[in-house]
Structure 1
Amino acid sequence: QAAYMLTSSTKACLVPWLAGIPERIGYPREFQFGIVNRLPAGWLKSMVAFGPRKTRLAEQVCAIARLGKRPAEDAPLPAPQLVVSAEALAAWRRRNGIDPAGPVIALYTSDFANKRSWPIERFVSIARDYVTRGWSVWLIGGPRERQAAAEIKAQLPDAVDFTATPDIAEAMCQIAASTIFLGVDGGLSHAAGALGGPCVLIYGSNRAYVHGPVNEQVIFLEPPISTPGWVENTRAVSEDKVREALAAAVRKHAPQFA
């Protein structure tokens, strides 16, 4: 009887409309008035506001959920949390011959042709720095990241390419087993935030305040809005800024490797 539209995609919202589901709950982020026919309070403010005045994506999802047949209490909901059990993590390390005592930086690059990504030479430079300090470098992702991982590994043979991972549970173990996660805007970055480990995330045209993970341990780096081309790429996020953020996160969450 009801569909909850958590995506901004008009194409996705058309599915429940074409299926004849009478109540279609969500935010009309792409002006899907009529397709979306039940709107949360404050939807107009969310559409016209900018920056910290805008309703965060996680808050929008919670607001949609509160419009259900048995709505949740109108109280702050906790940040998303994913848990990999100690037993599952230990078993994964055994299967893959991973030394739990060694520090690891996990890199999530997305596709280098994607404007959300960060230049390959900068990922390689950061990774090389950590290799010289005795860290392992893991390349995390799936089919979209395989070409990027191959390009990095060609320049940094010591990197471990996990982009052929067969299922999402394996990817969660990879992230949970790493010491720190460096990534860009994407689903695995949200998973890394929810897993609770230290994360440094580079965001661009999708502003981190609205679209990024809401977990407290996540550090965001973004191009200043005044930077020419900030919508098109993340080049204005410098290597120095990333190094500083990574070092701060390691000092706070894994001081034994600082």
Structure 2
Amino acid sequence: MAEIDGVDRSFALAALQDNGFVVLRALLSDAELAAARDHADDLLSGAGWSDNDFDGRRTRRVYSLLSRAGSLEPLLLHPEVHHLVTAGLGEVYQFGMLFLSAVDPGQGAQQPHFDAGVYPLPREVEAEINVIWALDDFTPSNGATLIAPGSHLWTAGRRPQPQELVPAIMPAGSALVYSGRLWHAAGHNSAETTRRALICEHVLPWLRPADNHILATGIDQLRGLTPDLRRLAGVAPASDYLGFVAGQDLEQWLRQASSD
């Protein structure tokens, strides 16, 4: 499995391109990890289990994170993840699905899937590059994400066999960066502890994201985000004539609307 301690950007990019994923180990300092865990627990507190098999009937998820990113913001904007995403998607991209996940004891393995499958695009198109941040150690017993190495290059219609899925084992504070075409699934948590993660999808700017972050965040709270987060929420135009409001760049529109 492609793992990196102390990021070699060239090696990381080559691993992502060749294998469809790379594990960047221990990207967060102890203080950053502790703060992210505390904030994640605050957000997850009171969240109920999902109501369907795919999301997980013993899995808790929290969406609409941008207005309350708090100590998760360094993860959302981490430069090593940003470097890999821009190499694959270009300088302008946006958040797709963005959520916290807590896989509780007893949760079974998820159905294998690839995230870009929501888009009716040819398999060879790289529409998204995503990251799973490990807020706990990912182990074979606590439901570490299962991945099929190299499956981002498979032809349409091929699905992974059980023996082709291997756990992405990594310590807390690490990031699994992977192609949106990579087959994967949350694993079975047979341990006695919960496995927490932050999942952040990054998609091409001209695609409709899985989550509508502008509506979920709201105009007033959108203005309060940092410029980088605001752009990733979908404010950055995909081109001169794609993504404007009333004939204006959305950033300009937000400034004007706030002064009216």
- The structure carrying a bigger helix percent of its residues is 1
Q: Rg bigger for which structure?
A: 1
How high is the TM-score relative to the length of structure 1?
0.27
How high is the TM-score relative to the length of structure 2?
0.27
- The structure carrying a bigger strand percent of its residues is 2
